[in-house]
């Protein structure tokens, strides 16, 4: 029997057998999803190179002062593929990029696709030990460091003794020496051939390389991009890191697959983003909730107004979106803040709100067309909350599901069955209209005196306070129980006291949900894209003498 074929959530007994459902086919920007899936090519680069012929003069990529039309991008991809040949890189090899978003990263990804080479995309802002752990697991034929776009990449390359290289089109790079490694088998079909590896965080253990196939990434690019009505003439602000699967599949490949123009942005800066919205007339903006929160904070602090003359679509993903932030962002932009849900192992999107949806709730939309899904019931936990009735652990199956974790079969078996079912590890529920709601992470669920506490519920209440920018709630183990610890980032210059915050929370939360400890911080630890690092906060909470 495959591990996971009889999944149990949180070590509890199942209440009842789960029911498998399949998301229906639907029309996406004038095409049936089934037709879009049927015409997916076998490699990431195929459609982009077709666009180079079909949309030659249309703007494809903007990287600082460099602007390439599709014909130019196509030439760069083909030239880079030939360059990889001269560097001794073979089909089935893995290359690793230590980078932030830039044209070099896009071109290397698509050139590697042309040669059946895997790309392990690594954020150069990771710590030295994290980058080294990934390199040791990945065993790349060569490592490319995009020095021109990232001082951190240059530092890692110098630390590794990589040679400096001035590429005539891609800018300053560093290249590692050729390594003697064993190439992987090459598959003709895009559903079996790995295109990219995105690594999970290695700060608390061995990093896991999530093997994403060409078909999985293209399924997201075609369907998710189509749902955003991406096409030639659209201008997409690509600030989400391509080292994160949201930035890779949805933003980068979603744009280039559908003929839109991608702006590669190395890291989030509110002033720079606002300038691009105004002067570059950006039409599509995707980010994590914290990015939108910090934009609101910046505009308030600077006393500036938003100028975004052609912006038509905004969405948030990567972490939970609370209702208060959603309302404030929508009031500022005058647009619906769309939402979605996914994870690295699903390339990443599992559900998203459709372009015509208008919800006041925090739904993450309907399951993407043609995916199979089921909820595994949770065990009894001593509470009965109507808002979370019917919640269970979400499992999914479809073309976007990863091939597994690179050379880690035990970890793969722990989350992926032989039949292709992926355990998301998230607790979810559906309403009567098929809208999906994420209640929380099963591993982040706090069980206090027998009661389930879902951190997003507590965070949503804290974030309603006018002086709060962001919050993150974690559990802390104590003798025979768990406590709730809330880390809070307030607006600059705010003078709110802990007593005031406790009174505010007490009026809105049941006693068992109220945090035992409030930790006020100048800034919550976050990734380059603004996603809160809850693992780090959990370590702080459990460290004796925290705050």
pLDDT single digits (tens) 410-430: 999 999 999 999 999 898 999
Same domain, 309 and 436: yes
What pLDDT sits at residue 5? 32
Q: 528 — alpha (psi -120 to 50), left (phi > 0) or beta?
A: alpha
* Rounded Cα distance, 338 and 355, in Å: 8
Q: What is the DSSP string of 384-416?
A: --GGGTT-EEEEEESTTS--EETT-HHHHHHHB
Last residue of a domain, one of 440, 458, 487: 440
Query: Does a structural domain hold residue 15?
Result: no
Residue 190: pLDDT band (50, 70, 90) is very high
User: Alpha-carbon distance 380 to 450, whole Å?
Assistant: 9
Give the pLDDT band (50/70/90) at residue 385: low
Say yes or no: 403 and 301 in one domain. yes
Q: For residues 463-484, give the mean pLDDT.
A: 89
DSSP assignment of 158-209: HHTTPEEEEETTTEEEEEPPP---PPPPP-SSTTTSEEEEEEPP-TTS---E
pLDDT of residue 528: 65
Instruction: Express each pLDDT in 97-130 by its tens digit.
Output: 999 999 999 999 999 999 999 999 999 998 898 8
* Same domain (yes/no): 351, 473: no
Which of residues 440, 461, 482 is at a domain's end?
Answer: 440
Whether 6 maps to a domain, the answer reads no
Query: pLDDT by residue (tens digit) across 266-320?
Result: 999 999 999 999 999 999 999 988 899 899 999 999 999 999 999 999 999 877 7
**pLDDT value at 155 more than 90:** yes
Confidence of residue 378 (pLDDT cuts 50, 70, 90): confident
> What is the residue-wise DSSP string for 440-462?
EETTT-EEETTEEE-HHHHHHHH
pLDDT band at residue 322 using 50, 70 and 90 as cut-offs: confident
> Is residue 14 included in any domain, yes or no?
no
Contacts for 379 with CB less than 8 Å, ≥ 6 apart: 8, 9, 10, 12, 13, 14, 15
**Rounded to an integer, what is the distance from CA 211 to the centroid of its chain?**
15
CA 120 to chain centre: 15
Rounded-to-integer distance, Cα 212 and Cα 243, Å: 12
For residue 467, give every residue at least 6 positions away whose Cβ sits within 8 Å of its Cβ, in sequence order, or none: 490, 491, 494, 495, 496
pTM of the model: 0.84
What is residue 489's three-state secondary structure?
strand
Regarding whether 182 and 297 lie in a shared domain, the answer is yes
Residue 478 maps to which CATH number? 3.30.300.30
pLDDT-derived band at 453 (thresholds 50, 70, 90) equals confident
Residue 481: name the closest of 510, 454, 446 by CA.
446
Q: Which of 440, 463, 490 is the last residue of a domain?
A: 440
Helix (H, G, I), strand (E, B) or coil at 544: coil
Per-residue pLDDT for 204 more than 70? no
* 347 and 365 assigned to the same domain: yes
Better-scored residue on pLDDT, 317 or 442: 317
Residue 352 falls inside a structural domain? yes
Tell me the pLDDT band of 185, cut-offs 50, 70 and 90.
Answer: very high
410 with 525, same domain: the answer is no
* Domain enclosing residue 202, as ranges: 21-440
User: Closest by alpha carbon to 156, among 179, 130, 128, 175?
Assistant: 128
221-275 residue pLDDT tens = 999 999 999 999 999 999 999 999 999 999 999 999 999 999 999 999 999 999 9
Residue 399 within a domain: yes
Residue reference for tokens 């929370």: 505
Among 192-196, 319-323, 454-458, 512-516, the range scoring the smallest mean pLDDT is: 319-323
For 17, what's the count of Cα atoms within 13 Å in the CB-facing half-sphere?
3
Residue 10 lies in a domain: no
What is the average pLDDT value for the chain, to the nearest integer? 91
Q: What integer is the mean pLDDT of 366-394?
A: 79
Whether 316 and 186 map to the same domain: the answer is yes
Judge if 458 and 499 occupy the same domain: yes
Number of structural domains (the chain) is 2
CA distances to 224, 368, 418, 443, 476 from 352, in Å: 8, 7, 27, 23, 32
15-61 pLDDT per residue, tens:
455 899 999 999 999 999 999 999 999 999 999 999 999 999 999 99
- pLDDT of 494 strictly over 50: yes
The pLDDT confidence band at residue 215, using thresholds 50, 70 and 90, is very high
- At residue 386, the pLDDT reads 56
pLDDT of residue 455 exceeding 90: no
Residue 281 domain-assigned (yes or no) = yes
Count CB-CB contacts under 10 A for residue 167.
17
CA nearest neighbour of 392 among 17, 1, 3, 4: 17
Higher pLDDT, 361 or 113: 113
Instruction: Indicate if 110 and 164 belong to the same structural domain.
Output: yes
9 in a domain, yes or no? no
- Alpha carbon distance 509, 530 (integer Å): 27
* Whether 458 and 431 share a structural domain: no
Please report, for residues 106, 337, 408, the alpha-carbon distance to residue 456 in angstroms, rounded to integers and kept in the order given.
Answer: 34, 18, 31
Asked if pLDDT for residue 202 goes beyond 80, the answer is no
Indicate if 367 and 514 belong to the same structural domain. Answer: no
Nearest Cα neighbor of 216 from 347, 25, 35, 40 is: 347
Q: What does the pLDDT read at residue 547?
A: 45
**What CATH number does residue 164 fall under?**
3.40.50.12780
Predicted confidence band of residue 445 (pLDDT cuts 50, 70, 90): confident
In this structure, the answer to whether residues 68 and 197 fall within a common structural domain is yes
């Amino acid at each position: 029997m495959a591990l996971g074929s009889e999944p149990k959530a949180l070590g509890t007994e199942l209440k009842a057998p789960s029911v498998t459902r399949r998301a229906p086919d639907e029309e996406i920007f004038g095409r049936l999803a089934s037709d879009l899936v049927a015409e997916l090519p076998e490699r990431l680069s195929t459609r982009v190179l077709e666009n180079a012929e079909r949309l030659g003069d249309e703007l494809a990529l903007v990287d600082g002062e460099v602007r390439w039309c599709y014909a130019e991008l196509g030439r760069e991809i083909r030239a880079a593929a030939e360059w990889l040949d001269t560097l001794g890189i073979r089909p089935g090899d893995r290359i690793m990029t230590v980078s932030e978003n830039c044209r070099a990263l896009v071109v290397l990804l698509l050139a590697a696709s042309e040669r059946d080479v895997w790309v392990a995309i690594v954020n150069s802002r990771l710590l030295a030990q994290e980058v080294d752990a990934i390199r040791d697991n990945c065993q790349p034929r060569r490592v490319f460091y995009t020095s021109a776009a990232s001082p951190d990449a240059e530092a890692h390359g110098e630390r590794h003794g990589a040679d400096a290289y001035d590429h005539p089109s891609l800018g300053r790079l560093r290249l590692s020496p050729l390594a003697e490694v064993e190439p992987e088998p090459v598959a003709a079909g895009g559903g079996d051939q790995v295109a990219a590896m995105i690594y999970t965080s290695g700060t608390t253990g061995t990093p896991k390389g999530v093997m994403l196939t060409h078909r999985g990434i293209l399924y997201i690019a075609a369907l998710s991009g189509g749902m955003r009505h991406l096409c030639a003439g659209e201008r997409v602000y690509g600030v989400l890191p391509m080292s994160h699967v949201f930035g890779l599949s949805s933003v980068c490949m979603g744009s280039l697959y559908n003929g839109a123009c991608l702006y590669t942005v190395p890291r989030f800066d509110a002033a720079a983003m606002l300038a691009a919205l105004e002067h570059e007339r950006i039409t599509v903006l995707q980010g994590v909730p914290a990015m939108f929160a910090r934009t609101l904070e910046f505009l308030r602090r600077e006393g500036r107004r938003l100028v975004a003359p052609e912006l038509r679509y905004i969405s948030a993903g990567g972490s939970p979106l609370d209702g208060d932030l959603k309302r404030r962002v929508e009031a500022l932009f005058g647009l619906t803040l769309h939402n979605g849900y996914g994870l690295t192992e699903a390339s990443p999107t599992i559900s998203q709100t459709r372009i015509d949806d208008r919800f006041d709730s925090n739904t993450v939309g309907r399951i993407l067309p043609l995916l199979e899904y089921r909820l595994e019931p949770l065990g009894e936990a001593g509470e009965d909350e109507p808002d979370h009735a019917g919640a269970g652990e979400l499992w999914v199956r479809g073309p976007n599901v990863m091939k597994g974790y690179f050379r880690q079969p035990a970890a793969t078996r722990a989350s992926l069955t032989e039949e292709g079912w992926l355990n998301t590890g998230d607790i979810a529920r559906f309403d009567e209209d098929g809208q999906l709601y994420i209640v929380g992470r099963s591993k982040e669920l706090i069980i206090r005196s027998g009661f389930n506490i879902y951190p997003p519920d507590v965070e949503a209440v804290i974030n309603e306070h006018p002086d709060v920018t962001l919050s993150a709630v974690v559990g802390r183990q104590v003798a025979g129980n768990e406590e709730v610890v809330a880390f809070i980032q307030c607006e600059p210059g705010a003078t709110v006291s802990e007593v005031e915050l406790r009174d505010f929370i007490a009026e809105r939360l049941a006693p068992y949900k109220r945090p035992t400890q409030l930790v006020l911080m100048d800034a919550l630890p976050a990734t380059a894209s603004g996603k809160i690092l809850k693992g780090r906060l959990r370590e702080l909470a459990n460290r004796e003498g925290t705050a």
